[in-house]
Structure 1
Amino acid sequence: MITFSSFPAPSNDNYRSSVTYPTGLDKDEEFDFDLDNDDFTSSGRKLTCPGEALTSSQAFMRGHGTYVDNEEVIASVAGIVERVNKLISVRAIRTRYNPEVGDLIVGRITEVQPRRWKVDANSRQDAVLMLSSVNLPGGVQRRKLESDELQMRTFFEEGDLLVAEVQAFFADGAMSLHTRSLKYGKLRNGQLVTVPPALIRRLKSHFLALPCGVDLILGLNGYIWVSKHVKESEQEGEEGFDAEAVYSNRNDDIDDATRSAVSRVSNIIRMLAAHFVPLTDTILLNAYEWAVDQDGSIRDLLQEDAGEALVAAISAQL
């Protein structure tokens, strides 16, 4: 006869957890946190692993990524512990993007269909961008005609990158996007960097401009666009916009200094993501200043020792 038994949970009277924190601390150093502390949400990053006891099920409610065993809330996935009042959940680090209305995302066109585009947004299924949800050349707001449907590939075609906002959801769960603002649309003059969506924190603005002449678009779906800086006067206009500039597939002329800055920022993001450091405007700015002060080349930022030194310096500043 085969019998099943659960693994014993670590005994701790105060329901405190000790997790090895891989970002900025020594391998043997532990990062303690207390879920009963009112400052839990602002006291730092809390990482946990499957099977680890988080708190008492009598004082807190279990959320996603947790289960209850022996009157304790236990993590079922490896990720970041989140608390909303008395609700405890674990946000998995390695997971697909879970969209919400109003989220800013960066996606890639995968298919052109009648009156709509399919967009890869790093979610469980492709997103949908309707023809009625895009700006027409000249900024004219009118009903889309059959002539507009015949010209869909002049706006977006397979492989094009774009930044959009989640507008709504269809009955099957697919998210609907829109690019009706002048700050949304096709992306050019840069490169795409992919990180786990859990590392992108919600900010007041996901459009960042670094002093090195590089613009960042932090998509909540884990896609980050690093590009040449565009002035606001070139990006917005009172009388609509230029169709050749907005829907063009040609990149502008980029000087060597800007190319180096884009590559440096991209390597910094990759290294921070490899060490599971959440990406915010402050962390990225501090990381870039640290990288500029180093004597090594841009390629050296991808070395393991350089990455550990970068994460240690960022953790010390925080």
Structure 2
Amino acid sequence: MDIDDLETGEFRLTCPGETITSAHDFMRGHGTYVDDELVIASVAGTVQRVNKLVTVRAARSRYNAEVGDLVVGRITEVQPRRWKVDANSRQDAVLMLSSVNLPGGVQRRKLESDELQMRTFFEEGDLLVAEVQAFFADGAMSLHTRSLKFGKLRNGQLVIVPPVLVRRLKSHFIALPCGVDLILGLNGYIWVCKHMQDSDQGEEGFDAEAVYSNQNDEVDGPTRIAISRVSSIIRVLADHFVPLTDTLFLEAYNWLIEQEVNTKDLILGDFGDAMVAAICTVR
């Protein structure tokens, strides 16, 4: 592998045991080791160069969170004054009762009455989008949903991909022209749902009954087809280990419409290979 041609921030695939570069010219990072003055990959994944530091990010690994990350998770347990959340990490994340929006929208101390109503906000099996705000001493993530952008997820379906494929974007809330919204969790959980109109309502006095409702809205037939098509696109791109970005989704969807490919043929036929080849050639 000619690491000198690899620009800072660019990625290339490698496999365990492959020689990456000379230890004299570069420093070894995570996912590498030095043998006979050569830097060698210790895991299968993507090679990344930052100036003179070379690392290999494993293709299949648990999600390593950073403060400020957007994650999609599933409630696994309701505990006193907190929820445990499966966020595809090494251990469950924690969402404290003090870190959620309560009816009225006023930031106040959480009372015993709020604790008794915790299952009216989130219960086992609920999906939510949240932000990583801190870490506990044992390394567990502490989440919060204090913005109306975050909270319970409805009207869609969950798609799981390797976390390494989800790149850090300017915004992880993506609205596609086909009437489908995407929430790209950096933990590899992606929520695909029907487009929701932005609410003009402020943080104060928000409609808690709507925000924490377990009832899905009515989703029409064309929107259901669009959600299914976008979900299939994500799965095909993940199977081909293609990094996921907003522009890539749009190109793939437009290609599907132009070729008049249905969802079943995309998953079962050779159209997946053709789609990946077409959009990667364009890029």
Same fold (TM over 0.5): yes
Q: In the aligned structure 2, how far is the partner of 1:126 from the partner of 1:209?
A: 29
Cα-to-partner distance string for 1:233-276 (whole Å, 9 max, x where unaligned): 36x53643111110000000010010000000000000000000
Q: Aligned AA for 1:61?
A: M
SS in 1 for 2:250: helix
Q: Which residue of 1 aligns with 2:117?
A: 151
Does residue 119 of the first structure (1) align with residue 85 of the second (2)? yes
CA RMSD in angstroms comes to 1.2
Residue 167 of structure 1 corresponds to: 133
**Corresponding position of 1:308:** 273
Task: Write the letter of the residue equivalent to 2:160.
Answer: T
* Aligned counterparts of 2:251 and 2:36: Cα–Cα separation in 1: 44
1:21-65 deviation per Cα after TM superposition (whole angstroms, max 9, x unaligned): xxxxxxxxxxxxx322373534xx410000000011111111111
Q: Distance in 2 between matches of 1:82 and 1:240?
A: 47
Query: Residue 78 of structure 1 aligns with which residue?
Result: 44
Name the SS of the counterpart of 2:3 in structure 1. Answer: coil
Q: 5 Å matches for 1:212-223?
A: 212-223=178-189
Q: Which has the larger radius of gyration?
A: 1
Measure the CA separation in 1 of the matches of 2:6 and 2:273.
31
Deviation string 1:157-213 (CA, Å, 9 cap, x unpaired) is: 000000000010001110100001110000000000000000000000000000000
Aligned partners of 1:308, 1:245: CA distance in 2, in Å? Answer: 41
- Say yes or no: does 1:106 pair with 2:63: no
Distance 2:268 2:193 in 1: 23
Structure-to-structure mapping, 1:92-241, within 5 angstroms: 92-233=58-199, 236-237=201-202, 239-241=204-206
Indicate if the aligned counterparts of 2:8 and 2:51 stay in contact, CA closer than 8 A.
Answer: no
TM-score, scaled to structure 1? 0.87
The aligned residue for residue 36 of structure 1 is: 4
Report the AA paired with residue 107 of structure 1: G
Gaps of 5+ in 2: none
Partner amino acid, structure 2, of 1:298: T
Aligned residues: 283
The match for 1:288 is 253
Question: Aligned partners of 1:174, 1:111: CA distance in 2, in Å?
Answer: 15
The two structures have a TM-score, normalised by structure 2, of 0.97
Candidates 270, 276, 299, aligned match of 2:235: 270
What is the distance in 2 between the residues matched to 1:51 and 1:244?
55
State the alpha-carbon separation in 2 of the partners of residues 211 and 84 from structure 1: 36
Percent sequence identity is: 76
Structure 1 spans left out of the alignment, 5+ residues:
1-16, 18-33
What is the SS of the residue equivalent to 1:226? strand
Runs (4+) of structure 1 exceeding 2 A deviation are: 37-42, 236-240
